[in-house]
């Protein structure tokens, strides 16, 4: 299920841009700032410096397990 995987990038404030959290459904190999941060908030020359500050993590979850757990807890 494509909703069970995502890449989450947390980018702190940079120059006059506030911090932001970006989420995107991408493969694990594409889990980096260049593939996830859209639109890029900084101009071309600042992209590398901006991306080096971002922390990106690949996350997987099982929505079926979550749904079953909710049913058990509510029963």
The structure tokens listed for 15 are 């120059």
Determine the pLDDT at residue 66: 76
Across 4-24, average pLDDT: 94
- Whether 53 and 29 have beta carbons less than 8 Å apart is answered as no
Structural domain boundaries enclosing 56: 5-74
Across 9-24, average pLDDT: 95
Residue 24: pLDDT over 90? yes
List Cα–Cα distances, 22 to 12, 66, 67, in angstroms.
11, 23, 25
Across 48-55, average pLDDT: 97
The structure tokens listed for 18 are 């506030």
Q: What is the mean pLDDT of the chain?
A: 90
Domain count, the chain: 1
Burial class (CB in 10 A: 0-12, 13-18, 19+), 9: buried
Across 33-44, average pLDDT: 95
Predicted TM-score (pTM) above 0.85: no
């Amino acid at each position: 299920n494509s909703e069970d995987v995502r890449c989450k990038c947390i980018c702190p404030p940079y120059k006059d841009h506030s911090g932001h959290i970006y989420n995107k459904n991408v493969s694990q190999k594409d889990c980096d700032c260049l593939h996830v941060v859209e639109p890029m908030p900084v101009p071309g020359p600042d992209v590398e410096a901006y991306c080096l500050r971002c922390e990106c993590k690949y996350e997987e979850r099982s929505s079926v397990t979550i749904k079953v757990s909710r049913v058990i807890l509510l029963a």
